Structure 1
Amino acid sequence: MNTHLHITSWVLALILLIVVLVLHKQGKAKGAKITHMIMRLDYLLILYSGGDLFGAYAKMGMSGSLLGEVIAKTIAGIWVIAAIEMIAVKTAKGKSTKGAWIQLVIAFIITLILGFTRLTFGLA
């Protein structure tokens, strides 16, 4: 199972987002751009490991509500990635990131609640 890879990769994405924001604040645009590209590579790990977990649930023969929750978590997870990317891009362009931060918090809470309370496949 790739549960630990999945958790590690999204924690890494959040850390890289913080690094990108700090580098922009310090005026180090080149370093921020490089870190942003590394963060984009990390998205691939998130998507790969999340897809693997989705496949594992599919093999279990999900029924009704569990299938709906897995799909909701998948959509919320992709929403988290999109919000992280919006924050990084808008910060680089000097635009307001308030809406993107609100989206990130909402999507992240949905993903955490579903991931750690209802869909704890392979966490042990």
Structure 2
Amino acid sequence: MTHAHLTSLVLSLILLIIIAVLQNKGKNIKIWHMVLRATYILIIVTGGMLFFAAYSIPLSYYLKAILGIVMIGLFEMVIVRKEKGKKIDVIWIAFSLVLVILFALGFTLPMGFDLLK
């Protein structure tokens, strides 16, 4: 399930990049945005499955779950605020920080990947 969760997250990041490029060119992003929202469902479902598959749920899993929900909110804020013409510099910084923390937590938690092997 870890692979499905990571794949859906990477797919969402790729879709976000596509949407950002299309927005800068002034193109219509409605369909791309809806596909991205569908990947949110995949992220939430696979993340929930990983969360509840843990034998005992330590605090770090709760932190990762909360940050994951914040990340989805930041995905939406980046797209919608850009569409409305508002500044998104601070949101991009928050997005980057939360993304790095999520990957660090995801790879260090017991059900994550062991990159050192």
Same fold, judged at TM 0.5 (above): yes
Structure 1: tracts of 5 or more residues without a match? none
Partner of 2:76: 85
Partner of 1:10: 9
Report whether the alignment pairs 1:50 with 2:47. Answer: yes
Report whether the alignment pairs 1:121 with 2:111. Answer: yes
The Cα of 1:113 is off from its aligned counterpart by 1.1
Q: Write the deviation string for residues 48-99 of structure 1: whole angstroms up to 9, x where unpaired.
A: 0000000011xx124xxxx110000111111111111100111111111112
TM-score by length of 1: 0.86
The Cα of 1:25 is off from its aligned counterpart by 1.2
Partner of 2:26: 27
Report whether the alignment pairs 1:61 with 2:56. Answer: yes
For residues 71 and 34 of structure 2, the distance between their equivalents in structure 1, rounded to whole angstroms, comes to 17
For residues 19 and 100 of structure 1, the distance between their equivalents in structure 2, rounded to whole angstroms, comes to 18
Bigger relative contact order (CA 8 A; separation at least 6):
1
CA RMSD for the aligned pairs? Answer: 1.3
> What is the DSSP-based 3-state SS (H/G/I as helix, E as strand, rest coil) of the residue aligned with 1:51?
helix
The Cα of 1:120 is off from its aligned counterpart by 4.1
Match of 1:36 among 33, 36, 39: 33
For residues 42 and 18 of structure 1, the distance between their equivalents in structure 2, rounded to whole angstroms, comes to 14
Contact 1:21/1:88 (8 A) holds in 2: yes
For residues 73 and 49 of structure 1, the distance between their equivalents in structure 2, rounded to whole angstroms, comes to 13
TM-score by length of 2: 0.91
The Cα of 1:37 is off from its aligned counterpart by 0.8
The structure with more helix, counted as a fraction of residues: 1
Structure 2: tracts of 5 or more residues without a match? none
After TM superposition, where is structure 1 displaced by more than 3 Å over at least 4 residues in a row?
Answer: none
